[in-house]
């Protein structure tokens, strides 16, 4: 007990807050001969009203010198571990070669989005009238660049030994399923600066990020992939700043003007829906692609959204913000989407840049246990049928090109939630053309900004229009996607990946 201690602050050295304000506010200047509106031309067109930038509370106070010092230290540590991983043939320690397909999906689906995040934050870091927000975005921009670099380096070890890693940067813009994350970021980056920050900083990084990172990082740890675990921790240590920035922007916008409330609500509805659609890929990875499972998608959704997000939206209610529009629907979807997605990839496995497979019997039992309401009833029978066909030597691939949702660009694979045997289709006619959607959520988003989404670059349309080479799918895959056809795609069984693994491990 030391109750008599005097608790006032000792003689003034600069507090972090003061240092940070020297770095930010005091870097700004009054405009004497230019109109501020010309300097920040994007600040108003979204309808957001900012009355007082001085109310922006710097969500973290990191000075530039400390920033470089910390980041350098992180890099040193990370690359020491990656070097050791390479020297010790770390790729041989993964649980099962099927696991590597999860990180093929990460490298081609997620890492390029780190780069888009870098570009997006660099752009908006120029657009705000408030200097605190500008600096925060610039730092995040540099972080995101570091993330993509470390991820590419971490996975380069796998590229030496496994198929499917070689043309990720080319694939991200072109491949049918990779247009899902890519177009998500294109949508955000082509929005105004405030929508971008609500989309990426808040809805994605704050509300949904745990559903992306925790499954991949724990998945890596459970499956013996130290390289991914390490870059994951390294990236997560920057995430604090990103999350607090996402939270600050929400508070700031909601407090600045009441007219901002409905705009922010609309953006939350939109980006929550788009985010959960995107996370379908993660759900499928967790339930089907990890040989050693961490938890089911459904469990992850319950812990990281229903519990943690529930607490957040309870607090946001004080600002007049309500739960995202389709949250109740997503609660039903958690029982279904991972199964529907992996089935789609399995049946289009000739056109995917990673391998697909039928779950083992043990895995089927695990899925039955984790999804008692739905798996045995709707999904297990399909796999039993696929098993039978495979045993007869008739592993099948669906040759038709899937129809894509105009908004999220996911194939029409989701069902009505009240009738999981019925694929959900929505459509609308705009300026004489018909557009198709996977859901009411995606249709709503289109309707709000049709002029934006009619410009969507839909991979299947592009193939059909002859813009992706051809004439056949085979040529699109090899010449346009740069797949090594026959090696990168098709079933895990009989793949070169599998053969090499057996050789390394000395099994027949």
Partner 1 sequence: MTYEVTIEPTGDVIEVEEGQTILDAALRQGVWLPFACGHGTCATCKCQVVEGDVEIGNASPFALMDMEREEGKILACCAIPESDLVIEADIDVDPDFAGYPVQDYRATVREIRDLSPTIKGIVFDLDGEMAFQAGQYINLQLPGVEGSRAFSLANKPSDNTRMELHVRLVPGGAGTTYLHEQLNVGDTIDASGPYGQFFTRKSDTKDVIFIAGGSGLSSPQAMILEMIEEGDQRQIYLFQGARNVAELYNRELFEELASTHENFHYIPALNAPEPGDDWQGFTGFVHDAANSYFDGRFDGHKAYLCGPPPMIDAAITTLMQGRLFERDIHMERFYTAADGGEESTRSALFKRI
Taking the C-alpha atoms of residue 502 and residue 96, their distance in angstroms, rounded to an integer, is 10
357 is written with which tokens? 């497979």
Nearer to partner 1, 206 or 288 (CB): 206
Taking the C-alpha atoms of residue 489 and residue 164, their distance in angstroms, rounded to an integer, is 8
DSSP summary character for residue 130? -
Helical packing angle, 111-124 and 131-159, nearest 10°: 160
For the bound state, the minimum distance from the C-beta of residue 274 to partner 1, rounded and expressed in Å, comes to 22
The radius of gyration of the chain's CA atoms, rounded to the nearest angstrom, is 24
For the bound state, the minimum distance from the C-beta of residue 287 to partner 1, rounded and expressed in Å, comes to 23
Nearer to Zn ion, 101 or 415 (CB): 415
For the bound state, the minimum distance from the C-beta of residue 233 to partner 1, rounded and expressed in Å, comes to 5
List the single partner that 16 binds among partner 1, Zn ion, Fe ion, none, CB under 5 to 8 Å by kind.
Answer: partner 1
Single out the residue of 236, 179, 172, 231 nearest to residue 205, CA to CA: 236
Q: Rule CB under 8 A: is residue 308 a binding residue for partner 1?
A: yes
List the single partner that 237 binds among Zn ion, partner 1, Fe ion, none, CB under 5 to 8 Å by kind.
Answer: partner 1
Taking CB under 8 A as the criterion, the residue among 312, 404, 438, 490 binding partner 1 is 312
List the single partner that 467 binds among Zn ion, partner 1, Fe ion, none, CB under 5 to 8 Å by kind.
Answer: none
For the bound state, the minimum distance from the C-beta of residue 69 to partner 1, rounded and expressed in Å, comes to 9
Task: List, as one string, the DSSP characters of 19-37.
Answer: HHHHHTGGG----SSS-HH
DSSP summary character for residue 295? -
Q: Rule CB under 8 A: is residue 74 a binding residue for partner 1?
A: yes
User: Residue 105 contacts by C-beta under 8 Å, 6 or more apart in sequence?
Assistant: 281, 285, 289, 354
Nearer to Zn ion, 330 or 442 (CB): 442
Task: List, as one string, the DSSP characters of 2-17.
Answer: -TT---S--S----HH
Stretch that binds partner 1, among 1-9, 83-91, 400-408, 487-495 (CB under 8 A): 1-9
DSSP summary character for residue 323? S
Site for partner 1 in 234-273 (CB under 8 A): 234, 236-237, 239-240, 243-244, 247, 250-251, 255, 258
Single out the residue of 283, 286, 289, 292 nearest to residue 222, CA to CA: 292
**Residue at token pair 């390029």:** 112
Binding residues for Fe ion, total number by CB under 5 A: 4
Helical packing angle, 260-284 and 209-222, nearest 10°: 20
For the bound state, the minimum distance from the C-beta of residue 293 to Fe ion, rounded and expressed in Å, comes to 25
Nearer to partner 1, 17 or 377 (CB): 17
**Is-contact 446 435, C-beta < 8 A?**
yes
Nearer to partner 1, 210 or 228 (CB): 210
Taking CB under 8 A as the criterion, the residue among 40, 53, 60, 79 binding partner 1 is 60
Site for Zn ion in 389-448 (CB under 5 A): 405, 407-408, 438, 442
Stretch that binds partner 1, among 36-44, 313-321, 356-364, 425-433 (CB under 8 A): 313-321
Q: Rule CB under 5 A: is residue 146 a binding residue for Fe ion?
A: no
Build a one-symbol-per-residue string for 220-249: x at contacts with Fe ion by CB under 5 A, - elsewhere.
Answer: ----------------------x-------
Beta strands per DSSP E along 130-262: none
Taking CB under 8 A as the criterion, the residue among 17, 37, 499, 502 binding partner 1 is 17
Nearer to Fe ion, 104 or 242 (CB): 242
Report how far apart, in Å, the C-alpha atoms of 482 and of each of 29, 84, 259 are: 50, 31, 49
Site for partner 1 in 176-195 (CB under 8 A): none
3-state per-residue secondary structure call for 415-484: ECCCCCCCECCEEEEECCEEEEECCHHHHHHHHHCHHHHCCCCCHHHHHHCCECECCCHHHHHHHHCCCC
Cis omega (within 30 of 0) for bond into 54 = no
For the bound state, the minimum distance from the C-beta of residue 262 to partner 1, rounded and expressed in Å, comes to 15
Stretch that binds partner 1, among 15-23, 264-272, 367-375, 377-385 (CB under 8 A): 15-23
Local structure of 167: helix, strand or coil: coil
For the bound state, the minimum distance from the C-beta of residue 68 to partner 1, rounded and expressed in Å, comes to 14
Q: Rule CB under 8 A: is residue 1 a binding residue for partner 1?
A: yes
Taking the C-alpha atoms of residue 275 and residue 136, their distance in angstroms, rounded to an integer, is 23
List the single partner that 147 binds among Fe ion, partner 1, Zn ion, none, CB under 5 to 8 Å by kind.
Answer: Fe ion
Q: Rule CB under 8 A: is residue 8 a binding residue for partner 1?
A: yes
Taking the C-alpha atoms of residue 443 and residue 339, their distance in angstroms, rounded to an integer, is 23
Taking the C-alpha atoms of residue 220 and residue 318, their distance in angstroms, rounded to an integer, is 39
User: Residue 336 contacts by C-beta under 8 Å, 6 or more apart in sequence?
Assistant: 374, 378, 414, 415, 417, 420
Q: Rule CB under 5 A: is residue 147 a binding residue for Fe ion?
A: yes
Q: Which residues bind Zn ion (CB under 5 A)?
A: 405, 407-408, 438, 442
Q: Which residues bind partner 1 (CB under 8 A)?
A: 1-9, 15-17, 60-61, 70, 73-74, 77-78, 210, 233-234, 236-237, 239-240, 243-244, 247, 250-251, 255, 258, 307-308, 310-312, 314-320
Q: Which residues bind Fe ion (CB under 5 A)?
A: 114, 144, 147, 242
């Amino acid at each position: 007990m030391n109750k008599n201690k005097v608790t006032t602050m000792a003689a003034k050295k600069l507090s972090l807050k003061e240092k940070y304000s020297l770095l930010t506010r005091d870097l700004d200047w009054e405009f004497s001969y230019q109109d501020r509106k010309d300097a920040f031309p994007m600040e108003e067109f979204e309808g957001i009203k900012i009355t007082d930038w001085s109310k922006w509370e710097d969500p973290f106070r990191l000075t530039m010198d400390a920033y470089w010092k910390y980041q350098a230290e992180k890099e040193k540590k990370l690359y020491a571990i990656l070097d050791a991983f390479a020297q010790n043939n770390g790729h041989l320690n993964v649980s099962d070669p099927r696991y590597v397909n999860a990180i093929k999906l990460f490298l081609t689906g997620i890492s390029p989005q780190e780069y888009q995040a870098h570009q997006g934050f660099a752009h908006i870091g120029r657009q705000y009238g408030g200097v605190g927000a500008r600096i925060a975005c610039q730092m995040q921009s540099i972080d995101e660049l570091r993330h993509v670099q470390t991820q590419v380096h971490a996975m380069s070890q796998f590229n030496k030994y496994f198929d499917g890693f070689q043309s990720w940067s080319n694939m991200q813009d072109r491949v049918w399923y990779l247009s899902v994350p890519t177009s998500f970021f294109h949508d955000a980056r082509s929005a105004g600066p405030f929508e971008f920050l609500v989309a990426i900083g808040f809805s994605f990084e704050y509300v949904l990020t745990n559903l992306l990172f925790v499954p991949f990082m724990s998945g890596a740890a459970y499956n013996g992939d130290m390289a991914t675990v390490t870059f994951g921790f390294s990236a997560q240590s920057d995430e604090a700043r990103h999350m607090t920035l996402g939270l600050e922007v929400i508070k700031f916008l909601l407090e600045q003007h009441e007219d901002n409330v409905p705009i922010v609500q609309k953006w939350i509805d939109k980006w929550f829906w788009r985010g959960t659609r995107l996370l379908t890929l993660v759900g499928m990875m967790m339930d089907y692609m990890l040989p050693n499972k961490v938890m089911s998608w459904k469990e992850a959704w319950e812990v990281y959204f229903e519990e943690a997000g529930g607490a957040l939206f309870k607090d946001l209610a004080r600002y007049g913000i309500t739960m995202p529009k389709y949250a109740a629907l997503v609660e039903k979807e958690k029982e279904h989407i991972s199964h529907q997605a992996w089935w789609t990839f399995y049946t289009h496995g000739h056109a995917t840049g990673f391998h697909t497979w039928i779950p083992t019997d043990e895995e089927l039992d695990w899925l039955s246990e984790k999804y008692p309401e739905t798996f045995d009833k709707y999904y297990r029978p399909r796999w039993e049928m696929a098993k039978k066909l495979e045993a007869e030597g008739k592993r099948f691939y669906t040759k038709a090109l899937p129809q894509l949702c105009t908004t999220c660009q996911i194939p029409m694979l989701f069902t009505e939630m009240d009738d999981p045997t019925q694929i959900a289709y929505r459509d609308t006619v705009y300026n004489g053309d018909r557009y198709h959607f996977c859901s009411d959520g995606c249709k709503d988003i289109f309707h709000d900004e049709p002029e934006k989404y009619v410009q969507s670059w839909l991979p299947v349309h592009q193939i059909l229009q002859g813009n992706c080479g051809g004439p056949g799918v085979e040529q699109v895959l090899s010449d346009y996607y740069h797949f090594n056809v026959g090696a990168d795609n098709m079933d895990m069984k009989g793949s070169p990946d599998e053969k090499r693994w057996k050789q390394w491990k000395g099994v027949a």
